[in-house]
Chains A and B, each alone.
Chain A
Amino acid sequence: MTSVAERAQSRPDGRARSRDSRRRLVVIGNGMAGARAVEEILARGGAEQFSITMFGDEPYGNYNRIMLSHVLSGEESDADIFLNPLSWYEDNGITLHAGVRADRIDRFAKHVFSSDGRVTPYDTLVIATGSRPHLPPMDGLYTPGGSVKPGVFGFRTIDDTRKMAEHARHDHHRHAVVIGGGLLGLEAAAGLRSFGLGVDVVHSGGHLMSAQMGPDGGAVLRRSVEALGIGVLTGSRTTAVLGRDRVTGVSLRDRPDIDCDMVVVAAGIRPNVDLAVLSGLPVERAIVVDDRLRVQDEDHIYAVGECVQHRGEVYGLVAPLWEQAVVLANHVTGADTSAAYLGSRTATKLKVAGVEVASMGLQGPELDTDEHIVFSEPSRGVFKSIVVRDNKMVGATLLGDSRKVAFLTQAYDRGLPLPEERLGLMFDLGTPGEDVGVAELDDDAQVCNCNGVSKKDLAAAVRGGCASVSGAMDATRAGKGCGSCKLLVKQVVEWAADGAVEEDPAATYYVPGIPLDKAALMAEIRKRGLRSVSAVFHALAPGGAEDAKSKMGLASLLKMMLADQYVDERDARFINDRVHANIQRDGTFSVVPQMKGGVTSVQQLRRIADVAEKYNVPLIKLTGGQRIDLLGIPKEDLPQVWADLDMPSGYAYGKSFRTVKTCVGKDFCRYGTGDSTKLGVEIESRFQGIESPAKLKLAVSGCPRNCAESLVKDVGVVAVEGGRWEIYVGGAAGAHIRKGDLLATVDSPEEVKVLTGRFMQYYREHANWLERTYAFVPRVGIEHLRAVIVEDAEGIAAQLDAAMQASVDSYVDPWSERVDPLTPGQFRTSLPLTVLPQVPVR
């Protein structure tokens, strides 16, 4: 082993060595504590002093564990929660052994022994092994072989989260039981609920979140949780997990069994101290450290995070960890040897299962002289409780409304004098608005609780030159945790910049790779006569560099501007636009033929049925846009499928005009006042395949009953009495819900088509890339749109109409591209051996 040679170089004083004069810092643990400690060390010039090696049990970079519940619920993808990707370690010269466990420390020889057989010498060691889920004793938790029974999960790591999601997504899995009604348990329950599973929470305490709040708050929280469709069983203990080789249910004490397909155990955490115990370090409930975060009686070993016990306290929240990392880094680097960690007062502010929860100090009064102010409004899920002793706030619980949290946290932390009228602690009474609130906030008040950023830190970043909100966020990492503080961060930055907030320039770029906003970009393209995406990069990108993330946006913009003068480069298109179909999770495609206005015929249906049979289409599905979707078509079959269908593309894949949903109109419907079906078909015929900054979904309804849902479409048309038609724009009913704004009421279908086209063209020319009309319309304002489009206040109506006409004229059905592929191997499979993962066939 190399350890002998390296040991010879390892002098006790850690002075200059022949090859690398730096001392060796080894960090065991690559979670939030370990990585944060290293960041703080690097911020104090640690890279000059130390060569840094890190061990991480998980085979990844460092991620934000707090956000795992958002990953489970699908609000964030797992890529979004990475704090430091693997490249960060490389950029900072850190050797990372990811997926390697440290087994033992020889604290006399100063070596770390790891699971890969490696021996790593150190001069200074930091232990940040964190904690693991506690599995309370119950029968049937393990298989006879000793492993945890399939279907039982802890909820700690990104792998746990992925496995839970995979299990929850399984077809035959319908019900889950979460053991533990604390913070993590409720988040797990809400996350699993989003997969459509039935969920019961079993909690041994008398009420939910019993560690953070009293019974009254717990009762209000229970109501809010039950409103999400989650069952709650309190005062109930799980005695056994049922099922022979997989979970089939749980047994409870004094209650009937519950059938379920998965069990999530969220009954608290236990510090990971095996390594420390095995290595002879002092361990009580956790690894014992002093005020410098040094392990008791060890000169060269520090510990930080959930694995440490400081003055008898073990913390399981993120805020104390940030404070510890700062003190540790000051000592390790010698930047401030007087720094001391004196413990943390824990105030939690979180969003649990969609409910805002803040809690600090006492849950209720303890002395006869304590004042207790309570406000409870269960129907809105709001509960507030404040405990005051000797005119100081000593405890607070807030549920469902966290507007006063910043002030209360500060009052709690600093023991501020309180308003005589105690109600002012709970509600803003009259004058002091949000702005005053920010100005009055104490310098040390914590703005971002996830990353421990104070008002002072943000103000310093602004003074240091970060005068944009995103710049200050990048510099301090404020708002980069759960994101719930972003509004407050923005307010503090605005206050600190004294109104001189700079707009982040990149925020206005049309595409990330070219530093121009849309108007300037279009002007440059026209001025220089650019006709292809590669020409735009060459002329306008910094260093002429191509940028993959900008290609699709540029291709769409050029096609809109140039119509048939556009030089189409296939590589600039997204895969969907290269093969004119929508890629699915297993790499197959979905094919949606055009069905104008949702009207079809015997011949079309017969042909679709024949194609579905011939190609063994695994799933035939009606879409929300009144069409028929053939899912699971392999790429290589696409041209033949189109040939056999012999119908035009329905454009269900592009950033483009998609479809017009219609009701049956007046020919059949006894209420219909206008021929919505005919108008819908005409609109779809005219604007088929028009590309735009984001997709456009339209509808035409024959009467105000609105059966085609016109009020929530990008452009929605409604027939009203007297042969008139209302046109609504900017509606949505997907990820966002918005009722469209009335653009105009007109007298004829012809006028509807003109104004629809003119609105769409104005949107194409002025909207940001991927900005749907529900964002665009309120941004520019409906009055402005009415002035430009209906009243022609800017005199550009004719120009808009002509540009739209050019686009309409240059339309070619992409599915005609089937006899001669435009590029070699255009329809060749990209998963040549196996198709993974296979989407289940229903």
Chain B
Amino acid sequence: MSATGAAAASHILGPVDQVPLGEGRAFAVDGEQVAVFRLRDGTVRALAAVCPHRGGPIADGTIDRQQVICPLHQHAFDLTSGCSTTGAEPLQAYRVSVDGEQNLVLETGGV
């Protein structure tokens, strides 16, 4: 896969404060459902919002600095890669950052 895919696009999701420290919130971006997490060190991560196991809401999961745990059946996923540490299928990972105006910026397509 290419990092410079033609479909790649940046989206401004609004102020980073919408996501409380240590929690996640879900966003609908470009027809995709994305869970954005704000770690306690202030950095942000983004994964697909629906658990591949039974459709659990990933944004409602409990997180630490490495992983998020789905609230329905406790499947765990790496916050950076989206890979499951418990044998589930992976979640898609997205690039996400905070810009100078403290807005969340999410990139879709061609990660």
| B22, B67, B75: residue with the most chain A Cβ atoms closer than 10 Å | B22
> Cβ of A771: which chain B residues have Cβ within 8 Å of it?
none
CA distance in complex: A587, B33 (Å): 14
Bound-complex Cα distance A572 to B63 (A): 9
- Given the complex of chains A and B, what is the CA–CA distance between A87 and B90 in angstroms? 11
A824-B19 in contact (CB<8A): yes
Q: Which of A79, A87, A571 contacts B53 (CB 8 A)?
A: A79
A77-B19 contact given A545-B65, A574-B62, CB 8 Å threshold = no
Size of the A side of the interface (Cβ < 8 Å), in residues, is 42
Q: Given known contacts A60-B89, A574-B62, A830-B35, is B23 in contact with A86 (CB within 8 Å)?
A: no
Assess whether B23 is in contact with A571, with CB atoms less than 8 Å apart.
Answer: yes
Q: Which residues of A contact B95 (CB under 8 A)?
A: none
Contact B67 A829 (CB under 8 A): no
> In this assembly, does A776 line the interface, its C-beta being within 8 Å of a C-beta of chain B?
no
Chain B contacts for A576, CB-based, 8 A: 71
Within 8 A of B (CB), among A558-584: 569-572, 574-576, 578, 583
Q: Is B40 an interface residue (CB 8 A)?
A: yes
A830 near B25 with CB under 8 A, answer yes
* Cross-chain contact of A823 among B23, B26, B33, B87 (Cβ < 8 A): B23
Check: B17 CB closer than 8 A to any chain A CB.
yes
Residue B58 is within 8 A (CB to CB) of chain A in the complex: yes
Residue contact B69 to A78, C-beta cutoff 8 Å: no
By a CB distance below 8 angstroms, the chain A residues around B55 are 585-587, 836-837
User: Cβ of B72 and Cβ of A78 under 8 Å apart?
Assistant: no
Partner of A79, one of B20, B68, B88: B88
Interface members, chain A 198-252 (any B CB < 8 Å): none
With the chains together, A352 CA to B89 CA distance in Å? 30
Inter-chain contact A79/B73, CB cutoff 8 Å = yes
The answer to whether B23 touches A570 (Cβ under 8 A) is yes
Cβ of B56 and Cβ of A587 under 8 Å apart? yes
Q: Which of A63, A569, A572, A832 contacts B27 (CB 8 A)?
A: A832
Return B39 CB to nearest CB of chain A, in Å: 9
- Residues 71-93 of chain B, each 1 if its beta carbon lies under 8 Å from chain A, else 0: 11111100000011111111000
Of A548, A570, A586, A823, which contacts B63 at CB under 8 A? A548
Q: Is A294 an interface residue (CB 8 A)?
A: no
Please give, as numbers and ranges, the residues of chain A lying within 8 Å of B53 by CB-CB distance: 78-79
Say yes or no: B69 contacts A548, CB within 8 Å.
yes
Contact of B64 with A830 in the complex, beta carbons under 8 Å: no
Known: A570-B23, A823-B20. A830 touches B57 (CB 8 A): yes
Q: Is A547's CB under 8 angstroms from B64's CB? A: yes
| Complex Cα spacing A587 to B62, Å | 15
A1-37 Cβ-contact flags toward B at 8 Å (1 or 0): 0000000000000000000000000000000000000
Cβ of B72 and Cβ of A585 under 8 Å apart?
Answer: yes
The answer to whether residues A575 and B71 also contact, given A85-B87, A832-B33, A832-B49 and a CB cut-off of 8 A, is yes
* A86: B residues at CB distance < 8 A: 83-84, 87, 90
Q: Are A583 and B23 in contact (CB under 8 A)?
A: no
Q: Does B107 contact A (CB under 8 A)?
A: no
Q: How far is the CA of A837 from the CA of B72 in the complex (A)?
A: 12
A61 at the interface (CB under 8 A from B): yes
Residues of A within 8 Å of B75, CB to CB, are 79
Across the interface, do B35 and A833 meet the contact criterion of CB distance under 8 Å?
Answer: no
Question: Are B33 and A833 interface neighbours, CB within 8 A?
Answer: yes
Contact A825 B25 (CB under 8 A): yes
- Distance A82 CA – B71 CA, assembled complex (angstroms): 20
Query: Is A549 part of the contact surface with B, judged by Cβ < 8 Å?
Result: yes
B7 contacts partner chain A, Cβ-Cβ < 8 Å: no
CB of A497, distance to nearest CB on chain B (Å): 31
Q: Does B28 contact A (CB under 8 A)?
A: yes
CB distance from B26 to the nearest CB of A (A): 4
**In the complex with contacts A545-B64, A546-B65, A571-B40, A587-B57 CB distance below 8 A:** yes
- Taking the closest CB of chain B, its distance from the CB of A655, in whole angstroms, is 14
**Contact between chains at A570 and B49 (CB < 8 Å):** no
Chain B residues, CB < 8 A from A552: 62
A832 to B58, CA, bound (A): 12
**Which residue of A is nearest B32, CB measured?**
A833
Q: Contact between B33 and A824 (Cβ–Cβ < 8 Å)?
A: no
Known A546-B64, A574-B71, A830-B57: A825·B18 in contact at CB below 8 Å: yes
Contacts A571-B40, A583-B60, A583-B72; is A59 near B20 (CB within 8 Å)? no
Q: How many angstroms from the CA of A634 to the CA of B26 in the assembled complex? A: 14
Residues of A within 8 A of B21 (CB): 571
Contact for A546 among B25, B40, B76, CB less than 8 A: B40
Cβ-defined contact, B60 with A78, below 8 A: no
Query: What CA separation (Å) do A472 and B8 show in the bound complex?
Result: 50
> CB-CB < 8 A to A572: which residues of B?
22
Task: Check A830–B49 contact: CB distance below 8 A.
Answer: yes
Chain A residues near B98 (CB, 8 Å)?
A: none
Query: Which B residues lie within 8 Å of A837 (CB)?
Result: 54-55
A583 to B71, CA, bound (A): 8
Q: When the two chains form their complex, are residues B62 and A548 in contact, meaning their CB atoms are under 8 A apart?
A: yes
Residue B105 interfacial (CB < 8 Å): no
Bound together, the chains give a CA A824 to CA B38 distance in angstroms of 12
Among candidates A59, A79, A586, residue contacting B86 with C-beta atoms closer than 8 Å: A79
With A546-B40, A551-B62 given, is the CB distance from A831 to B83 under 8 Å?
no
A824/B71 in contact, CB under 8 A: no
A552–B58 Cα gap in the complex (Å)?
17
Q: Which A787-842 residues have a C-beta within 8 angstroms of B? A: 823-825, 828-833, 836-837
Interface status of A761 (Cβ within 8 A of chain B): no
Residues B50 and A831 in contact, CB atoms below 8 Å apart:
yes
**Cβ of B106 < 8 Å from any Cβ of A?**
no
Minimum CB–CB distance for B85 against chain A, Å: 6
A256 to B: closest C-beta gap in Å: 39
Whether a CB of chain A sits under 8 angstroms from the CB of B59 is yes
**Cβ-defined partner of B28 (8 Å) among A60, A82, A548, A833:** A833
CA gap between A552 and B56 in the complex, in Å: 19
Chain B residue nearest in CB terms to A158 = B87
Report B-chain residues with C-beta under 8 Å of the C-beta of A59: 89
CA distance A79 to B88 in the complex (A): 7
Which of chain B's residues has its CB closest to A824's CB? B18
Complex CA–CA separation, A82 to B84 (angstroms): 12
A831 touching B87 by the CB < 8 A rule?
no
In the assembled complex, the Cα of A369 lies from the Cα of B56 at a distance in Å of 64
Chain A 507-529 interface residues, beta-carbon cutoff 8 Å to B: none
A534 contacts the other chain (CB 8 A)? yes
Q: Which of B24, B27, B28, B83 contacts A87 (CB 8 A)?
A: B83
> B85–A85 contact, CB under 8 A?
yes
With both beta carbons as reference points, the residue of chain B lying nearest to A571 in the complex is identified as: B22
What's the Cα separation between A552 and B71 when bound, in Å? 12
Contact with B87, one of A78, A547, A578 (Cβ below 8 angstroms): A78
How many Å lie between the Cα of A583 and that of B54 in the bound state?
13
Flag if B17 contacts A575 (CB, 8 Å): no
Given contacts A534-B40, A549-B69, A830-B35, whether A571 and B85 have CB atoms under 8 Å apart is no
Q: How many Å lie between the Cα of A837 and that of B56 in the bound state? A: 9
Residue of A nearest to B22 (CB): A571
**B80 to nearest A CB, angstroms?**
13
- Other A-B contacts than A570-B20, A571-B40, 20 sampled, CB-CB below 8 A, are A60-B87, A63-B87, A79-B74, A86-B84, A87-B83, A548-B64, A548-B69, A570-B22, A574-B71, A575-B61, A583-B72, A828-B25, A829-B26, A830-B35, A832-B26, A832-B28, A833-B31, A833-B33, A837-B54, A837-B55
Q: List chain B positions with a Cβ less than 8 A from chain A.
A: 17-28, 31, 33, 35, 40, 49-50, 53-65, 67-69, 71-76, 83-90
- A-B residue pairs in contact (CB < 8 Å), sample of 22: A78-B87, A82-B87, A85-B85, A534-B40, A548-B69, A549-B69, A569-B22, A571-B20, A571-B63, A575-B61, A575-B62, A575-B71, A578-B60, A824-B17, A824-B18, A825-B18, A825-B19, A828-B26, A829-B26, A830-B26, A832-B27, A833-B33
**Interface residues of A, Cβ cutoff 8 Å to B:** 59-61, 63, 77-79, 82, 85-87, 534, 545-549, 551-552, 569-572, 574-576, 578, 583, 585-587, 823-825, 828-833, 836-837
Those 6 A-B pairs whose CB atoms lie nearest each other, nearest first? A571-B22, A82-B87, A830-B57, A546-B64, A830-B59, A823-B20
